[in-house]
A and B are shown apart, each in its own frame.
Chain A
Amino acid sequence: MQKLLLLGDEAIAQAAIDAGLTGIFAYPGTPSTEITEYVQKSKEAKEKNIHSSWSTNEKTAMEAALGVSYVGKRAMVCMKHVGLNVAADAFVNSAITGANGGLIVVVADDPSMHSSQNEQDSRFYGKFAMVPILEPTNQQEAYDMVHYGFDLSEQMSIPVLLRITTRLAHSRSAVERKAVRKQNELKLPSDLKQFILLPSIARKRYKGLLENQARFLEASESSGFNQYFDGSDKSLGIITTGIAWNYLMENYQDGEVPYPVLKITQYPAPRDMIKKLVDECEEILVLEEGYPLVEELLKGLFSIGLKVKGRLDGTIPRDGELNPNIVARALGLPDTYGQDVPEVVAPRPPAMCPGCGHIDVYNALNVVMADYSGGRVFSDIGCYTLGALPPFNAINTCVDMGASITMAKGAADAGFVPAVAMIGDSTFTHSGITGLLDAVNENSPITVIISDNSTTGMTGGQDSAGTGKIEAICLALGVKPEHLKVIKPLRKYHDENVQIMKEEIAYQGVSVIIPRRECVRTLDRRMRAKHLKKEKK
């Protein structure tokens, strides 16, 4: 079979295409973005007419995927960990409706917060929703588990959560493809009431979900993805979950670990296998990339009769991702060191690109806000969040998608006027529209700046759902036309822009300012493509 050099993300995408995918749905979010992008760029996917356009947010993506599953076809929905918070309503309820066509929910967690505002562990969501969870160790397993996951989803009529983390998502390795499978035919669920979660039906469905837990557990014990490796030294037993396995094996280059090891990659956690390890070994070391899920399970409240080492007792740091050195230290193996970073090295934090329109927005906004006491700019998730750093120091909050508008409204409701929201176009359509409607309904004295670069910038310039529609959306929500201002964020208009911001921020009601200029990155890319086309002609 053909071998490809793929990112973990791309392996998942290729596997989905090969496993008979009908549609992939997602909103961009690091480290999950490349899954959907791979399908968008795939010639095979195009020939097979696989849906791959971006969704407005993770919730709409999850629901659309559920709709594909409802009609009997295979769907995948992808998001970063915090995206699952947005999609949680649909996700948790999809466990009650169950799946018809195979449905895989891929969630890419970001421990150590390389590009995120928290490091929540999505396995807890899977456990909460009571669905099977797959957590591959490497790129090949990621590929294989997508095939398995679709089958499992259809056999058990349940959505399956596929959880990966940054280091697998964004690491490349060789992957061997499997035979290609056709897409499913349209086929409605045999019980047409299955998806109607009226209390009377939902109660039955929920009982069914509870009964199915035993089947999910049986699959975990027997699928072959969870593996038990015997070891001669029973003073310690080791459990790894997901990519922690790689870091363990990095410390045993000959491949021989002296202790028994249980490699967990499928949940519910395999009870019999864990019992065997616990019975055989004096103490247990749990290596998990993420929160201490298995560790807490083993420890219980009082850790009676069992010595468990891991993140909870300080053997492993409580936060952050694992690496080979952390695991070496946990095992009492010699650590390895290089030289220290010389003092001369200065930090180089990320920054907005030279020429970026957000820069001109902040340059103007900072002039206006200098007239007021500080702490008034509520911001959001995007490239413009970098306005928190010097030289701008322009914003005071960044919490979750859309929170700029609603937090500014809350502050204004509490009497803190003026309050300003700074949000991007893509984040606005993702989760800002409903908040703006709240503000309009009360005519809250806030000014919303929708800095429109006509793309989803931070994740690399994906299509933005509201391009060309932002004014229409605001007006339809009830923003008054005389307080909806579109400006061009360029240095030559600086004074004019300052004046407009000044007036609108002083206005005692909802005002919206839309500074609009294309992202310099997407512009550059567009110009290069145009140039290349010309050359070819």
Chain B
Amino acid sequence: MKKDIILAGVGGQGILTIAATLGLCAVEEGLYIKQSEVHGMSQRGGDVQSHVRLSDKPINSDLIPTGKADMIISVEPMESLRYLPMLNPEKGWLITNSKPFVNISDYPDINNIVAQIEQVKNHIILDAEQIAKDVGSPRAANIVILGAASPFLDLDYGLIEIALKKLFGKKGDDVVNLNLAALKAGYDFAMKNR
């Protein structure tokens, strides 16, 4: 088992929560993991990415080579495209939120962005905010995205549930259940639209 994943978004959008969940999955499953993060200046509303590498064999580089990522998981549509040079052009999956995060004055026409995403061979695009709202977890859009990515992770779905329970356990059962519902909603969307 070997999965190289780029997490993408804008500083403050919660990609590190996705990273932490994957990290807990790795620990639970006894997998090797390397997960690089962005701290410092870019966190101030700039583009941020995290390289997450999971494997049953030891991992060398903290960075994924270009063209070798198995997945881009993005909580923002334009940001998902920024890392296309990293994605394996044949086998890679791009899973992204469709809801733009507009904090720049020259944000492009969202239709042009969606058109580009649809040109990626394997992709899932979903309105994670709306789906999160629909299942009563408006703050868990990032977990909806993780759910949509889950069928392609080569990780047991139950494992991700265990990781979320661990991650949010301190905040009480309600928060855990809202996140589990968000995960499921994302998963269902991906299974229907893959």
Contacts and interface: CB of A to CB of B under 8 A. Distances in A.
Are A and B bound to each other? yes
Interface of A: 3, 5, 7, 30-31, 33-34, 114-115, 167-168, 170-174, 243, 245-247, 249-250, 323-325, 328, 335-342, 344-353, 383, 386, 390-391, 458-460
B85 A351 contact: no
Given A7-B37, A172-B35, A339 B44 contact: no
Which 3 residue pairs spanning A and B have beta carbons closest together?
A115-B40, A30-B40, A350-B46
Contacts of A246: 60-62
B39 A340 contact: no
A34 B86 CA distance: 28
A251 to B, nearest CB: 8
B45 A351 contact: yes
B105 to A, nearest CB: 7
B65 A336 contact: yes
Nearest to A459: B40
A75 to B, nearest CB: 24
B65 A250 contact: yes
Interface string B96-111: 0000000111111100
6 contacts: A114-B41, A323-B63, A341-B81, A351-B46, A351-B103, A351-B104
Given A342-B81, A344-B113, A345-B81, A323 B65 contact: yes
B38 to A, nearest CB: 7
A479 B81 CA distance: 53
Interface string B60-95: 111111111100000000110110111111001000
Instruction: Tell me what chain A mostly uses at the interface: helix, strand, loop, or mixed.
Output: loop
Interface of B: 10-11, 23, 26-27, 32-47, 51, 59-69, 78-79, 81-82, 84-89, 92, 103-109, 112-113, 116, 120
Contacts of A114: 38, 40-42
A350 B40 CA distance: 10
B16 to A, nearest CB: 10
A458 B34 contact: no
A173 B33 contact: yes
A5 B45 CA distance: 27
Contacts of B108: 344-346
Given A167-B36, A167-B62, A339-B84, 20 more contacts: A30-B41, A31-B40, A114-B42, A115-B39, A173-B34, A174-B27, A246-B60, A324-B65, A325-B66, A337-B66, A338-B66, A338-B88, A339-B87, A342-B84, A350-B41, A351-B44, A351-B45, A351-B104, A353-B45, A458-B41
Contact of B47 (A31, A323, A348, A352): A348
B171 to A, nearest CB: 9
B62 to A, nearest CB: 4
A170 B113 CA distance: 30
Contacts of B40: 30-31, 114-115, 458-459
B105 A170 contact: no
A336 B61 contact: no
B62 A168 contact: yes
A345 B104 CA distance: 12
Contacts of A5: 23, 26-27, 33
